[in-house]
Structure formats: structure tokens, C-alpha cells
Chain A
Amino acid sequence: MDRKALIGEALASDKQTIPQYLDYETPSLNVTEWLRYSCIPIYEQENAAKDPELASSMEKALSLINGALSFRVGFMVVPLSRDEDGFPVFPFEQRSEKLKKNLEGCDRAVLFAATIGSGIDRLIRRFEKADPKMGLLLQGLGAERVESLCDAFNDEVKEICKEAGQKTRMRYSPGYGDLPIEVQKVFLPLLDAERRLGITLSESCLMAPSKSVTAIIGIANDQQ
């Protein structure tokens, strides 16, 4: 079954769905974001673009990641109820005011985990010692790649919802604002992420591969 059909089927369910796994093609590159994640602020980028050394390093970084990444997403849809204080109820404990606000009017949410795999971590490891500038560019590139992967998935969810007359909220991640990062301990097992996506958690709830993202996308029927 193709990707959109799988997402569509899950979104059509009014019960909690089983996790599904999607493979993506290489998402298109957002150079501005890449440089921003590489500590070159947007207002500096015009200047930076004139630097031939930087241009050739960027080219090298792109050739290094060629074939070294995989773009995978695991997701599920959960129905949302509210507890007596109005907090949305998830399979994990949390009382985040910001998430509550983000999910106002939503009766369901998509939980997902995205990763570009461990190849990027090997490259970063290799270059941050031998060539720190390349290490930094690879860090930035990895961050941009996984965010672009999230965008690709998010866009598909948004589009399918739109066809059904529904709206999606901005995706919201554990560890962001007042949503504690500890929810990862339940979030990732729900998606069977260790086995199916290779995402593991450290003691302090950091994900490995490092270029992995988990997030919640609220779905509302209203026109807000």
C-alpha cells in the first residue's frame, strides 16, 4: 500500500491505531535551514555564500551523506479525551499547559517518530575530530534533513486532513516548552521505535540516532 493510503487509513480510524512505518525518498534540501543549524545565522548567509571554501565544504558534506541516510517515520493515531482539568489524555502522563493549548479543539492526534538513521552520527563522529568545520556542517545538515523529513510527513498528514475538512496543529515535541522529555519513555515504546526504527533512549532521555524527532500533531474538526 502506498504511503498516503496508509496514513489515510489510520486517520480514518476513530480508535487508537497500531504503529505504521513509512519510507521516504530524500526530501528536498533547505539550504537556509542547513546553514542556520550550522551556526551561520540567516543575516550572515549572504556573506557566507560568497566564500568559496564554504561552498566547497558544503558540496563535500552533501557527497558524504549521499547514500548514508535512510528516511523513516513511524506513526499512530490516538483519540483524545480530556481529564477533569481539561488536559488531553495520552498513553503517557503529562500536564503541559502549552500542549493543552496547542491541542484545543482536537479530538485526535498523530504521534510520530522520524529518523534519518545512524549513518549521519558516524559521519559526524568521524569529522568532528578530524575537521571540526565539516563536523559542524554535518551536524547542521543532519538537523535539516530530519526536520525536512518531519515536514514531508507532516505535509501529507495535513493534506489528507484538509481533504476531510480537518485542520492540523503545529507539531509539538517532547522536551519542548513544558512537555517533559521523560514522556519519551512511553512515547517510543508505543511506536515500537527501538525495533522498527532503531531509535533508543539514553538514561537522560536523549534519542540515538541523534538525528531523530518525536512529535504530536493535533487534528481538529473546527475551522480555527
Chain B
Amino acid sequence: MNIRDYMKDNFLFLDGGMGTLLQEAGLQPGELPERWNVTHPEEIIRIQKSYYDAGSNVVLSNTFGANGLKFDDEELEQLVTAAVKNAREAARQSTGTQEKYVALDIGPLGKLLKPYGDYEFEDAVAMYSKTVKIGVAAGVDLVFIETMNDSYDTKAALLAVKENTDLPVFVSNAYGADGKLMTGASPAAMVAMLEGMHADAIGANCSLGPDQLIGVVEEYLEYASVPVLLKPNAGLPRSENGKTVYDVFPPEFSESVGKLLEKGVRIAGGCCGTTPDYIRAVVEKSKSITPVPVTEKNLSLVSSYTHAVKFGESPILIGERINPTGKKRFQQALRENDIDYILGEALKQQDAGVQLLDVNVGLPEIDEPAFLLRAVRELQAVTDLPLQLDTTDPIAMEAGLRAYNGKAMVNSVNGKEEVMSVIFPLVAKYGGFVVALTLDEGGIPDTAEERVAIAEKIIKRAADFGISKKDLIFDPLAMTISADTTAALATMQAVHRIRHDLKVNTSLGISNVSFGLPSRNIITSTFFALCLQDGLSAAIMNPYSQEMMNVYHAFRALHNMDENCMDYISYAQNLPAPTMTAPASGAPAEAPKASGESGEGPTSELQKAIVRGLKEKTGALTKAMLAERKPLEIIQSEVIPALNIVGADFEKKKVYLPQLLMAAEAAKSAFEEVKVAMAASEDGNAGSSRCAFVIATVHGDIHDIGKNIVKLILENYGFAVSDLGKDVPEQTVVDEVVRLHAPIVGLSALMTTTVPAMEETIKLLREQAPWAKVCVGGAVLTQEYSDAIGADKYCRDAMETVRYAEEIDEALKKQ
């Protein structure tokens, strides 16, 4: 019987541990167990047969570590093929009468993916694909991905399976004692992602005994609409007379697993330390238990690599600020490839209290697929909020969804067939929670009835792609009441009907409603409150608007969504005192002389603010000053002198690094104001006043905090810094230097092992970019090292780098 059919009405039993049994059979420490598929097939078959004899329905091929990182292509093919053949032979020889299946076992590659590690996601997909292709060709019944302790790695493996076969696939993760994966994902987050990608069964294995996994299993059972599997260890290992023993034995093991079968687990086996006796005991125990039916939980979930966000209960706030529409400063950032600006917007919104971030990087002149892919990766390196990918370009959408770690929100589809037929297949493949706009070929209907009709059409079409309505969220479109005063009523009615009659979630871009009216916040926030009352599940909104946040917090408190009003109280306590207006137009042009100990203290309020590292104040003062003085003049006569004061104090060891950084950050907020002003004055690219500076942490090295500090300070001093990041291949550095014809390159290395990469980079630079001066820095470097590898200059710290760069820049200007 097909395994998918068999699972419907029956418990499915997996096998138990392999490692300890192989060691007993003579596998030596350090020997790769996969090689035994070829060298000792009889032992493998004997062990696997004993599992089938004990009642296992599914035995995993002995391929846990069979991947392209450990074996070359030829050996990999040989080992995996032999492993599948061995398991088949074991099934054939077994006297057990139960249904028997062979699963291709896939374990982790053992590499941490970027951004926290150094391995590329797509390389991981390719590596897993190799094993999958061989296993599928050898004729397995299903694929079993197991012991994964990272969400992104799990996605890579599952994607590799889905792209190479339609066979059933089970996915099992290894949880720590804290109930999370090593890299932080909760069971709910894994359920969201894995169900979105259509895993056939999901659950937990390894790391702990059955009792310690109860919490994890319960969370799976609460969220999952597919069968839940459990393959725990035989408790904890101990060393006894040089042998490994475990502290849970078959009777207790089957007792504990039995309890979880009663709660709803449908697929059970054992991991480290378990033997056929454990499986036999579990099978025996299960005979008195009726399988709990697997039910559709109808939960609307999105997830990041740490947690899931559930729609349909407490309203969800989606930050709208990562979007260039109508924002000149943002457009400038996109054109200049200034990802840090976008990351800054993300973190500010997170601090303001949103649960999701909308990400829109569409601008006619940029390569949107490439930029969205980069934005997704970089955003997921700094924030654990789930993302809503907002693009009309299906190629960009696919790039983003593929790279996304978790289950993303997709913004958007609408009732047009041409849109649904390209976006829904992407959602079916990668998973996603889809915003559907209630418009179609005929435009936006005026009435609520017609919008609901479009929603019904979209639900039907989504079902054709296997996307259920729990994964849809309708946006019935807020239109401005300044053009038509019935517009808001129609939207609210549509929200109500979609939520209560169709029982599907709703979302709105709230602020459109007040377009064209004065004091828009009053209308917008009131409309928000009314929509929430009608059942709105989420809003794409501006989290910096205090009125909007007031409504959100009050609504939750009034609707019994905020236990003891705790969230509201902490929100209210942190509200700013009644707003004071920023210092009016004339910031004191001639501030009283600072009381600096040295004669070279700060001479204005702005300089003082920078020296003391007061970010907000610096921004406000700069803004005020911009009304009277030219942007570049402020930089030249205020910001740079202030930085020089701090820089000099740092060199004299009067201030320490954190203070220097605070001042640099404050200066940055001054630069931000200046950039805004310049972007507005169409005087766009008056940007850097100094030469280009290419900076990178060398190949093989992933330390970049030092490099980031140098970059920040250099930018403060007006250098056009091109930051290539960390672990940068030698040729990439050279290419960038050539592209910009940059006169200076800064290379950083923290480890002795990566100094050779630095030397190699310098060698290539000398050949291909002989004009460029190279300065080096980092923990392991010394003057001697620097001389030995042929650098032009060794810079001990950020200020020394600035001084050197200034020298070069001055020299260039004199030419």
C-alpha cells in the first residue's frame, strides 16, 4: 500500500538507533558508517532486518552522513545506492508481516549557512540534491530529513527533495532542552515553514529522551495539520566500563512514547541508544491505543527563523516604512545600494512595536530581483521579525521567497488571472501567507458585495493550486474619502463580511483613507479603530504614528486581548511627555564657548551634541540649522570639527572606543539630515567630498566588527566607502577597486590563518590595480606582519586609518 494511504488510518513505526549497533558490530571511532554499506553490507542488512522484525514500518537507509562534502561523486553514488539496496534486502528477508517501506535518510551537512556561518544556501540545496537524486534513482519509498538543528538548513534540504521528487517527505528537527532549535526556531515556526512547503509529516528526533520532548511534541500537535512524528533518544548517555549506556530502557521508553501516541503523535521510532527491543515495546504498547485523527488546525501563520506569528486573534501590525513610494531619501538609498539605511528602518520599526515588516524595494531603475534577494538576506541577519515581500515582479518574488528563512507573507495577488497564475505556483512551492487584493480585470468595485465576490473567486482559484483559505488574507482596499465619502463604509462592510461570512483574515493599507485631507492622522487612526471593530486582522501602517499605536493598544486592552492590561500599561508608561517642539529655526549659530579643558573644545551646541554622542539631539539641531545654512557648510564647519575633537581625544586615550562610536553615530544622524535635505533639493549627488575607499574583511575571515567601526568613522569623514563585507574573495576586492578606480583599500583580518588571504589580495592588487594604496589592520596584525605581506600601511585603529586616508586624499587633490 502507498505509504500516504497507509498513514491515514494507522500508526507508522520507524526504526531505532544505528550508531551504537554499528559500533557493537565493530565500526571503529572515526570510521565513516556510510562506507559500511559497501564494505559490510551483511551487518547493515542484519541490523535493519532486526528492526523490520521488531515491527518497524519504515527503515532509514544508512546514509545519515552521505553527502558531497564527505564523499566524492563516484563514492557517494556507490554508497547511497548500496545503502538503499541493503535496506530493501532487509525488508525482503524480514519475517515481519507489516507494511514495509524504505526511506532515504538525509542528515545535516554540518555547515552553518550564511549569515551566521559561511556556507551558501544555494550550495546547500545543490549538495542535498546530489544525495536525493541518487537515493530516488535507487528506488526508495520516501525521503526522511532528520536531526536538523537549523531552520535554514532544513529549508535547503526540503527544497532539494521537492525539486527532485514527488515522493513523500518527512522532516524531523533536533530540539535543545530549551525547546528550540540550536539557531533559535520554535516548533511553531518550523510547522509554519514545513507545512507551507508541503512536508508529509513533521516532528522531532534525537537530542533528548521522550519525556524531555513532551513540550516540543505538544506544540507540534497544537499547530500541525499533518501527522506528527517522534524519534527520541533512549534518554541520556553515560559511559560504563568504556561502553555507552543510556538511562531509559524499553519498558519506560514505550510507556512515555505511548502517552504521546495517545495525545496525537502518529509516527514513532527511536534515535540514539534505542535498539529493536525499544521498537518492539512501542509497537506492543500501541496495540491498546487508537490513533488520534489528524485534523486541519486552520491556523494562519507566518514565520521567521525564530518564531511564528498567528493571524486572526490579536491584530497584527505590519510596518510600511520599507517602501520607496513618495520617499526621496529612501529612493536615494536604493539607488546608492545603501542597504544599511534599509536595515535601520527595519530596526526602528521593530522598536516601535510592529510584528512584521513589509519590504518593497521596487524602483524602475534598479534590478529588483537582485535587490529584493539581498534585502531579504540582510534583513534576516539583523531582525527576527517575519517579512512581507511586496513586489509586483514575479521574478523578484521568487528570488525573495526562495531565500527567505521561514514562511513569508506575500504581497500580493488580486483577482486577475494573469497574476494568480504566476504567484500561486510560487506560494505552493515555497509556502507563504498571501495578501489578496479585491480587485480584478474590471478594476476596484465600488460596493462591498462585489469585493466579496472577487474574494470568493480568489479562494476558489487558490484551491486549484492546493492553497487553502487559511493561507489567504484579503485586502478589501481602503480608498480616500476625500474623493468619495462612501468609500470607507464600503471597505468596512467588506472587512466585516470577509471576516465573518467567508471566515478569512483581512488586512488594509490604512492610511490611504485620509489622502487629500488635513490632519490625516485623526481620520486614519479613527478608521483603523473602526476597521478593527469590524474584524480587521492586520494593518500595513506607520508605526511612528502615535495615534495609530494608541488605537492598537487601546483596542487590545478593550477586547480582552491584553491580560491585566499589561501591554497597555507598559506602552503608556513609555509615551513621551507632551511633545515639545524641536528647537525653532535659529539654532544658536554662535553658541557660547564650550567649557572644554583644552583650547580645542566644541564651539557650538551641535558640536557638543556630537562630542557627547547625543544622537537625537544632533539630528534635531542639524535639522534646525539646515533652515539657515547650506548642508555642506554644516558638515565642514560643524560635524567634521566635532569629530576631530573626539578623534584627537581618542588618539590621546582621553576617550575610549564606545565613546568614539557614540560620537560617530551622532554625526551620522547629522549626515542623515543633510542627505534628506540634499535629496529634497534635487541636488542629489553632492555626496562625498573625499575619495573612494574600498574596505573588506579578507577571504576566510568572518570577523567584521573592527572593519565596521573603521567604515563608520571613514564615512563620517566624508569618504565614499564601498564595504564589501566579510569573507570576501581576493578577486572581488580587486574588481571593486578597479571599478571605482579607488586610490585606497583597507583590508582586515583577525586570525593568523587568514593573513595569507590578505597577502594574496595584496599581490593581486599590485598586478591589477597598481595605483591603489593598501592599508591593513586587525587583531593579529603588527607592523612586521604588515611589512612582510607588502602592505603600504599598518593602521592600529580607526583613527589611524582616517589619518592615512586623509593623507592620500590630500595628495590626490594636489595633483
Contact = CB atoms under 8 A, between A and B. Distances in A.
Interface stretch (B436-444, B493-501, B700-708): B700-708
A53 to B, nearest CB: 7
Contact of A44 (B183, B656, B665): B656
B751 A204 contact: yes
Interface stretch (B222-230, B381-389, B590-598, B640-648): B381-389
B658 A39 contact: yes
Interface residues of B, number: 62
B292 interface: no
A125 B658 CA distance: 17
Given A18-B244, A125-B381, A205-B753, A39 B656 contact: yes
Contacts of B703: 206
Contact of A18 (B184, B239, B664, B753): B239
Interface stretch (B132-140, B254-262, B295-303, B340-348): B340-348
A210 B705 CA distance: 12
Contacts of B111: 200
Contact of B665 (A131, A137, A139, A197): A131
A15 B242 contact: yes
A10 B241 CA distance: 10
A70 B117 contact: no
A11 to B, nearest CB: 11
Contacts of A196: 207
Contact of A70 (B176, B242, B656, B712): B176
B584 interface: no
B184 A204 contact: no
A196 B176 CA distance: 8
A160 interface: no
Interface stretch (A103-111, A116-124, A161-169): A116-124
Contacts of A117: 182
Interface residues on A, range: 35 or more
Nearest to B107: A195
B516 interface: no
Secondary structure type dominating chain B contacts? loop
Nearest to B384: A122
A118 B184 contact: yes
A107 to B, nearest CB: 17
A132 B183 contact: no
B491 interface: no
A130 B352 CA distance: 14
Contact of A208 (B116, B176, B239, B751): B116
Interface in A1-56: 1, 6, 9-10, 13, 15-18, 20, 23, 38-41, 44, 48, 51, 53-54
A130 B344 contact: yes
Contact of B183 (A16, A38, A53, A198): A198
A9 B242 CA distance: 11
B705 A57 contact: no
A7 B701 CA distance: 35
B708 A40 contact: no
A75 to B, nearest CB: 11
Nearest to A206: B702
A181 B116 contact: no
Contact of A17 (B147, B177, B239, B306): B239
A137 B630 CA distance: 36
Interface in B648-663: 653, 656-659, 661-662
A174 to B, nearest CB: 11
Contact of B116 (A13, A121, A126): A121
A218 interface: no
A10 B244 CA distance: 12
| Residue in A41, A136, A137, A139 whose Cβ sees the most chain B Cβ within 10 Å | A136
Nearest to A140: B658
Given A18-B237, A122-B384, A198-B183, A175 B658 contact: no
A30 B90 CA distance: 58
B115 to A, nearest CB: 7
Interface of A: 1, 6, 9-10, 13, 15-18, 20, 23, 38-41, 44, 48, 51, 53-54, 57, 70, 91, 117-119, 121-122, 124-126, 128-133, 135-137, 139, 175, 181, 194-198, 200, 202-206, 208-210
16 contacts: A15-B242, A18-B237, A20-B239, A51-B659, A118-B184, A121-B116, A125-B115, A130-B347, A130-B348, A133-B658, A198-B150, A202-B702, A206-B701, A208-B118, A208-B702, A209-B116
Please list the 6 inter-chain residue pairs (A to B) with the smallest Cβ-Cβ separation, ordered nearest first.
A198-B182, A204-B700, A202-B118, A200-B112, A39-B657, A133-B661
Interface of B: 29-30, 108, 110-112, 115-119, 147, 149-150, 174, 176-178, 182-184, 206-207, 237-239, 242, 244, 306, 340, 343-344, 347-348, 381-384, 612-613, 653, 656-659, 661-662, 664-665, 700-703, 705, 708-709, 712, 727, 751-754
